[in-house]
Structure 1
């Protein structure tokens, strides 16, 4: 597992029930390379398996959240490395999307290409007021490749997603809030504190409940309404069975706070 050593491409620590994950290539604006993908894969696997973790924050060290793939590595990669890149794209991004705990992207500075797509794979994004976002891939003869064509449409709707992907135009933090890319905007100095506060609030929910709620909401996006409602009903029954078998939950944190 990655630790707080400065040499790791991804830093990982726990703050109570919150997994604190930091992209750590600040001199490269947190452009992700193979080392970052390998480290992130290990970290996400650890979060998935750690029953004590109830929420996660993904953030970037230095002046940017992430500028996406490191073209110095990926743009000149021989075919074996390209194959490995595709494998890790499936594994890492699928694992981030499917984590059974709420995930928060705390973005700042340049949040570009795959960096923005990482944020869109999280359940919620909040932005510092210096954030600048774009999906520039079409201008480079490509299309977004870290699920951006799918997550953008689900977050923004068809028209705004196509505008973002086709034009590659820059969006500042306030415009990102207006179109729904981020849930709120805070001063740069407050970003980490706010992200941790939100993650701790989400972390008061039992892990099983968070996992099933995420499955209902994310899974329902791909289903007709009737099937989505049936999915919700099945998950509700499953959770009720788990809670009944466990017995009455202790009351903590005030009135009606059964967690």
Structure 2
């Protein structure tokens, strides 16, 4: 997928199929190549990574959404061809690279998928239609997911002889458990809206016409909580699976002490 031609009507926050809009404490990141079903390319990944770096410190909640009938149809299939995407390595070139170069390249791709869980932010993905492969993993990168009733998640990498490598395996396993994550990835089957809510993959499913409103309502509810309390709570929950019960109790006490002193205006 080549970069779009420069257009004077294009918003300054739009680049390579990604638009970033800031509204006070809320940032909205939109995949905006609906005619291509928001197929992903390295250029789009660089734009997504840049959006994360460009967020002002005032932003507390990030909403990820997509234009068109599909959230993202996954990787641009041109990456699989000998011609590839102009200016980008195709899969054959990636395979022939030295180990460090290949590792560095994949790590650079992963940057687009990892910043959404930063400790100072809460991210919400609004997902409609197909969210396939890289699209599924991008939705998994967010803290929370609201889905339309027509959503279809699928992890197709394994059926193509690959593995999911865009930071999606950890959140998927955390959300649905090892056995179901393994089954979803290896079979490559579709997971619809009702099942995604039932297994904990999505927080809420709504009619497609209500998706944007429902996601924005959730963002507003998240913003209603005091920032310091939200950050501390997110940190407690993110670390809970790696702590014992007693360690988690201790972490709660330490976090609460910080909150009490902050609210009382008592410094460290």
TM-score band by shorter chain is 0.7 to 0.9
Q: 1:66: which partner in 2?
A: 72
Cα distance, 1:60 vs structure 2? 1.1
Classify 1:238/1:167 alpha carbon distance in 2 versus 1 (closer, same or farther; 3 Å). Answer: same
Q: Which residues of structure 2 form unaligned runs of 5+?
A: 1-9, 80-89
How many Å separate the matches in 2 of 1:65 and 1:4? 22
Classify 1:102/1:41 alpha carbon distance in 2 versus 1 (closer, same or farther; 3 Å). Answer: same
TM-score (norm 2): 0.82
Classify 1:233/1:71 alpha carbon distance in 2 versus 1 (closer, same or farther; 3 Å). Answer: farther
Deviations 1:75-119 (A, max 9, x none): 355549855532323433332222512211100011111211221
Q: 1:37: which partner in 2?
A: 45
Cα distance, 1:123 vs structure 2? 1.4
Tell me whether 1:57 sits opposite 2:63 in the alignment: yes
Deviates more, 1:77-86 or 1:203-212: 77-86
Give me the CA root mean square deviation: 2.4
Number of residue pairs the alignment of both structures matches:
244
Instruction: Answer whether contact 1:56 1:104 (CA < 8 A) is retained.
Output: yes
Determine which of 87, 93, 107 is the counterpart of 2:113. 93
Instruction: Answer whether contact 2:65 2:71 (CA < 8 A) is retained.
Output: yes
Deviates more, 1:12-21 or 1:99-108: 12-21
Determine which of 222, 235, 247 is the counterpart of 2:242. 222
How many Å separate the matches in 2 of 1:243 and 1:204? 17
Classify 1:192/1:85 alpha carbon distance in 2 versus 1 (closer, same or farther; 3 Å). Answer: farther
Q: Which residues of structure 1 form unaligned runs of 5+?
A: 248-259
Instruction: Answer whether contact 1:101 1:207 (CA < 8 A) is retained.
Output: no
Cα distance, 1:174 vs structure 2? 1.3
Q: 1:250: which partner in 2?
A: none
Tell me whether 1:182 sits opposite 2:202 in the alignment: yes
Instruction: Answer whether contact 1:54 1:205 (CA < 8 A) is retained.
Output: no
How many Å separate the matches in 1 of 2:164 and 2:44? 19
Q: 1:75: which partner in 2?
A: 91
